[in-house]
């Protein structure tokens, strides 16, 4: 069977696939971007431009990583600032790259001070390169935020709205607002961007983070001359945080319909499916490209194409937002829905981890010995269906959760009720609404 | 003057050095972290249950993961003070690694033995003392023997504050670790380095070249010490029980291996061209493989029963075969052939009779040989303990002991190969010594 065409359109910007490289070191200059396009990336967001003179980066370490024992990078952070090259150099290269790769998306990230004049001056200069869109960097949590930019803007909805308005008043190309996750509720910033006239949001930027200490010197690690500064955290570890924020924007009435470019820990095609199904229209990737190189695009496109084909979908658009209706508030979860863990004894390797976690951390609902034999069985009368055993079992599909559809839940002694009841009408809820 | 078929230097010294290098090179740190990551941290871990000394294996592997090597080593050595040697010589494929649940779904256990070595080598290398002696009790215990059971018992007793005197028959400590196991399993004088580490706890006096029944008697030891631990091993060698088995060229494998282990220059050891090994245990495998590594051309192990009944594990059998040793099953020696020197062995084919007993099939074949190794097991030689009053109770040819390794005589304990239940494994001997020390300590404290 032939593969599905991954052609993508975001704000009218066409790209051969929905995978863009996020604004970051891999998109800092023509050399890297040309290599990325040769490798097959659908688009790039050029590393953030700022006012001249260019900023200065530390010459100490910029990156830190959390590794698995086999040295896979699980989490990653950085203290690199926006581009440290002269504006003119970047603009010249952007112009040439767009000319050389007309079928790819080329968005330019920009960070400017909080004043109208700056936007009025620089936006036309950037647009003159032929770039497809602007992405306003309201996200970087380190360095630039100390100078009143980056996340210092993104953490104050009024600043987001104001700056967006200044930019939109002069911009002819679409404007994407890149949001910081270093806020208590992402909806405030997202609403402000929308109010300010943003065409789309992209999220998440990186999270405030300290990786660890150096166990010899007992100083922060990594450090420059004995001192470190918090950096921006990214990589596979942050994906769940990003997915939540994307889904919140996608499902909230005030922000629903605002196009989203999803960012945060995309490493393989399944991560992309997560973002797209939860409401992003495309995805941006940085860490995976930084730690494996541009070649990972092959797995992203091949895997997504096969997935869409297997699901009978015609293209990326069919997937976008598919899981959004399944995201709700806790109060609407069906409290009459009962599951019990089921252990497939043929697959069980008898490691006993399900038993010990249930014993120590949950509900004492898994045996360790049955008739004198080492055997792990679920005690339905104790099992609350929490999924902890599924989470720790080393064998895929060995433990599954099975819904009870009739009879009695032996834990509660109550008959299974197939009607739905959530917290809003539950008798224990003092604020309950009348059922109906 | 041996015939030309038996000659030293069949291989160059460089080839021999290569052949006798570490069988399993140690893990690098990267390898150890990846291997450690495969441990599932099982509940009531089957590997720990399978370990005769009960090392908490998931616990020490977790410490390797977190780079606390001293914590890992303590978890190992506090249960098994010879964890370093056991990491090298344990048949892990039938102990901890056989029990590993990883076998169930991927047929590849966690490399427990190699990880144990990774954790213990640096501690022994640096001589890091992980144990502290309790306040002196003033009690003195005689430990007879210098092998794993004796050293284990002595160490635990010393930790508990008792004074220990080790009486060792040989010139060096460590017993079969020094004189018995294959050279490529414990390179770089490891047995002696480990013995030194064990003694470094303090409170252990060592007297070598003294033997029970020679310079010592059990009765005098009982009178001179608060307690006695016997760990005197198996000094007798089983006989084939056939014609001409004392002929020139028919050699006791245990003795040959001891010579090999003590040889300063292995290229000067005489080696046969055609070697026949009779037996099916670890000693048979070790002498066969080492003969090959020294340059013997044809080495054949002949065992009277089948592959499954061999004392050597499947892994050890495969190791021998990979080294070019031919293993023949279901045949027993009928007659040693030769005039003044051995020239070959006549074997009779065997089968298991209806009652499970071995029986000859009346079919014979002959293997030519310059050297024949007897490796049909050792027996307990009761000589040393003879004449004790009261007499030591024996069971199946070994010293009878209870679960605490107490013998039939008050204040005498026994362990290791000489005691009932001994499995001819270092790890079992270490456990015997540990249990006996705990029992002795309990006994002495009750009598205060």
pLDDT digits (tens, 9 = 90+) for A178-213: 999 999 999 999 999 999 999 999 999 999 999 999
How far is A410 from A416, CA to CA, in rounded Å?
10
Q: Beta strands B227-230 and B140-144: pairing type?
A: parallel
Cα–Cα dist B413/B53, whole Å? 18
Residues in chain B: 448
**Per residue in B28-81, pLDDT tens?**
999 999 999 999 999 999 999 999 999 999 999 999 999 999 999 999 999 999
Contact B336, B245 (CB under 8 A): yes
pLDDT in tens, B290-349: 999 999 999 999 999 999 999 988 889 999 999 999 999 999 999 999 998 999 999 999
Other beta carbons within 10 Å of A146: 10
What residues pair up with B210 in beta bridges, in sequence order?
none
The per-residue pLDDT for A112 is 95
Mean pLDDT of B409-430: 91
Alpha carbon of A285: minimum distance to chain B alpha carbons (Å):
28
What is the per-residue pLDDT for A435?
62
pLDDT at B437: 98
Q: Mean pLDDT across the stretch B171-184?
A: 91
pLDDT of residue B388: 75
Q: A277 with A319: CB under 8 angstroms? A: yes
Query: Would you tell me how many other CB atoms lie within 10 Å of the CB of residue A424?
Result: 14
Give residue B137's pLDDT: 96
pLDDT in tens, B198-238: 999 999 999 999 999 889 999 999 999 999 999 999 877 88
**Which residue would you say has higher pLDDT here, B269 or B402?**
B402
The closest of B423, B309, B401, B400 to B52, measured between CA atoms, is B423
A67, A344, A349: best to mutate for the B interface, most B CBs within 10 A: A349
Candidate from A70, A71, A394 with C-beta closest to B40:
A394
Which chain A residues contact residue B101 at CB under 8 A? 349-351
Q: Do B42 and A351 touch (CB under 8 A)?
A: yes
φ and ψ at residue B151, rounded to 5 degrees:
-65, -40
Whole-number pLDDT of residue A229: 94
Q: Is the pLDDT score of B281 beyond 80?
A: yes
A216 Cα to chain B: minimum distance (Å): 13
Q: Tally C-beta pairs within 8 A across A and B.
A: 39
Closest of B423, B4, B412 to residue B225, by C-alpha? B412
Tokens 């494929």 correspond to B93
* CA nearest neighbour of B53 among B28, B20, B75: B75
* B16 pLDDT tier (thresholds 50, 70, 90): confident
Pairing of strands B204-208, B163-168: parallel
Residue B243 in 3-state DSSP? Answer: strand
The dihedrals phi and psi of A426, each to the nearest 5 degrees, come to -70, 140
Residues of chain A in contact with residue B43, where contact means CB-CB under 8 angstroms, are 351-353, 355-356, 368
Mean pLDDT of chain B: 93
Residue B239 scores a pLDDT above 90 = no
Interior/surface letters B403-420, b for 16+ CB within 10 angstroms, e for the rest: eebbbbbebbbbbbbbbb
Q: What ipTM was reported for this prediction?
A: 0.86
Alpha carbon distances (Å) from B122 to B157, B158, B200: 24, 23, 16
Q: How many residues does chain A have?
A: 436
H/E stretch holding B278: strand B274-278
Pairing of strands A73-78, A63-67: antiparallel
Q: What angle do CA A421, A425, A430 make, to 5 degrees?
A: 140
Residues of chain A with C-beta less than 8 angstroms from the C-beta of B42: 350-353
Q: How far is A96 from chain B (nearest CA, A)?
A: 45
Return the residue in B33, B40, B43, B59 with the most chain A beta carbons within 10 A, the one to mutate for interface testing: B43
Greatest Cα-to-Cα distance within chain B, rounded to the nearest angstrom: 68
Distances (CA, A) of A181 to A83, A190, A231: 21, 11, 13
Q: At what angle do helices B282-293 and B253-262 cross, to 10 degrees?
A: 50
- Residue indicated by tokens 């010459």: A59
Closest Cβ–Cβ partner in B40, B41, B44 for A368:
B44
Residues in chain A predicted with pLDDT less than 50, given as ranges, are 1
Q: If pLDDT is split at 50, 70 and 90, which confidence band does B245 have?
A: confident
Neighbours of B362 (CB within 10 A): 7
- State which H helix or E strand residue B46 sits in: helix B46-50
């Amino acid at each position: 069977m032939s593969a599905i065409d991954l052609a993508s359109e975001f704000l009218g910007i066409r790209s051969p696939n929905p995978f863009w490289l996020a604004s970051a070191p891999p998109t800092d200059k023509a050399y890297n971007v040309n290599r990325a396009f040769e490798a097959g990336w659908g688009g790039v967001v050029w590393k953030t431009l700022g006012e001249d003179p260019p900023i200065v980066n530390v010459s100490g370490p910029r990156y830190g990583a959390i590794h698995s024992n086999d040295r896979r990078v699980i989490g990653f952070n950085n203290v690199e600032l926006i581009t440290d090259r002269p504006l003119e150099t970047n603009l010249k290269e952007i112009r040439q790259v767009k000319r050389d790769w007309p079928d790819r998306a080329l968005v330019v990230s920009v960070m400017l001070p909080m004043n109208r004049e700056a936007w009025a001056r620089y936006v036309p200069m950037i647009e003159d390169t032929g770039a497809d869109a602007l992405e306003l960097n309201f996200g970087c949590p380190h360095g630039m935020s100390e100078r009143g930019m980056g996340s210092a803007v993104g953490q104050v909805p009024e600043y987001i709205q104001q700056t967006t308005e200044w930019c939109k008043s002069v911009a002819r190309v679409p404007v994407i607002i890149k949001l910081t996750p270093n806020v208590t509720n992402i909806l405030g910033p997202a609403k402000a961007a929308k109010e300010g006239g943003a065409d789309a949001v992209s999220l998440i930027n990186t999270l405030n983070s300290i990786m660890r200490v150096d166990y010899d010197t007992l100083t922060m690690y990594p450090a420059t001359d004995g001192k470190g500064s918090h950096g921006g955290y990214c990589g596979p570890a942050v994906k769940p945080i990003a997915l939540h924020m994307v889904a919140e924007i996608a499902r909230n009435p005030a922000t629903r319909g605002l196009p989203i470019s999803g960012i945060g820990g995309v490493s393989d095609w399944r991560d992309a499916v997560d973002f797209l199904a939860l409401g992003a229209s495309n995805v941006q990737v940085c860490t995976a490209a930084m730690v494996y190189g541009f070649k990972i695009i092959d797995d992203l496109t091949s895997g997504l194409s096969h997935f869409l084909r297997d699901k009978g979908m015609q293209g990326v658009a069919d997937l976008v937002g598919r899981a959004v209706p399944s995201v709700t508030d806790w109060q609407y979860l069906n409290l009459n829905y009962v599951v019990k863990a089921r252990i497939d004894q043929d697959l069980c390797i008898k490691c006993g981890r399900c038993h010990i976690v249930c014993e120590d951390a949950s509900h004492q609902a898994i045996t360790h010995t049955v008739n004198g034999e080492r055997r792990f069985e679920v005690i339905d009368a104790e099992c609350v269906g929490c999924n902890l055993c599924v989470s720790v079992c080393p064998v895929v599909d060995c433990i599954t959760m099975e819904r009870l559809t009739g009879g009695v839940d032996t834990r509660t002694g109550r008959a299974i009720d197939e009607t739905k009841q959530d917290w809003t009408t539950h008798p224990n809820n003092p604020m309950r609404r009348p059922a109906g | 003057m041996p015939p030309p078929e038996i000659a030293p230097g069949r291989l160059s010294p460089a080839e021999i050095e290569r052949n006798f290098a570490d069988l399993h090179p140690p893990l690098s740190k990267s390898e150890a972290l990846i291997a450690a990551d495969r441990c599932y941290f099982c509940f009531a871990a089957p590997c720990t249950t399978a370990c005769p000394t009960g090392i908490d294996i998931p616990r020490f592997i977790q410490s390797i993961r977190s780079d606390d090597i001293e914590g890992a080593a303590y978890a190992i050595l506090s249960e098994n003070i010879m964890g370093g040697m056991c990491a090298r010589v344990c048949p892990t494929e039938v102990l901890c690694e056989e029990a590993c649940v990883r076998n169930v779904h991927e047929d590849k256990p966690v490399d427990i033995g190699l990880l144990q070595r990774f954790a213990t080598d640096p501690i022994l290398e640096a001589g890091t003392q992980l144990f502290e002696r309790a306040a002196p009790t003033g009690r003195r215990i005689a430990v007879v023997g210098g092998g794993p059971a004796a050293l284990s018992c002595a160490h635990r007793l010393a930790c508990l504050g008792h004074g220990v005197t080790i009486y060792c028959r040989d010139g060096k400590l460590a017993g079969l670790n020094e004189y018995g196991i294959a050279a490529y399993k414990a390179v770089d004088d490891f047995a002696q380095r480990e013995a030194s580490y064990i003694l470094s706890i303090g409170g252990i006096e060592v007297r070598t070249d003294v033997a029970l029944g020679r310079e010592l008697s059990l009765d005098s030891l009982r009178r001179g010490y608060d307690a006695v631990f016997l760990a005197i091993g198996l000094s007798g060698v089983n006989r084939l029980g056939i014609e001409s088995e004392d002929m020139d060229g028919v050699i006791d494998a245990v003795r040959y291996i001891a010579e090999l282990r003590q040889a300063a220059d292995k290229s000067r050891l005489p080696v046969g061209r055609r070697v026949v090994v009779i037996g099916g245990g670890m000693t048979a495998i070790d002498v066969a493989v080492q003969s090959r590594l020294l340059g013997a051309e044809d080495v054949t192990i002949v065992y009277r029963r089948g592959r499954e009944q061999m004392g050597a594990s499947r892994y050890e059998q495969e190791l021998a075969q990979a080294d070019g040793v031919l293993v023949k099953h279901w045949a027993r020696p009928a007659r040693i052939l030769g005039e003044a020197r051995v020239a070959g062995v006549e074997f009779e084919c065997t089968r298991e009779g209806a009652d499970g007993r071995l029986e000859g099939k009346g079919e014979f074949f002959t293997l030519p040989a310059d050297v024949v190794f007897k490796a049909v097991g050792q027996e307990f030689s009761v000589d040393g303990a003879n004449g004790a009053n009261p007499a030591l109770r024996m069971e199946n040819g070994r010293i009878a002991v209870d679960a605490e390794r107490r013998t039939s005589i008050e204040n005498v304990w026994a362990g290791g190969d000489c005691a009932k239940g001994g499995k001819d494994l270092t790890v079992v001997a270490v456990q015997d010594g540990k249990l006996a020390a705990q029992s002795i300590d309990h006994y002495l404290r009750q009598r205060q």
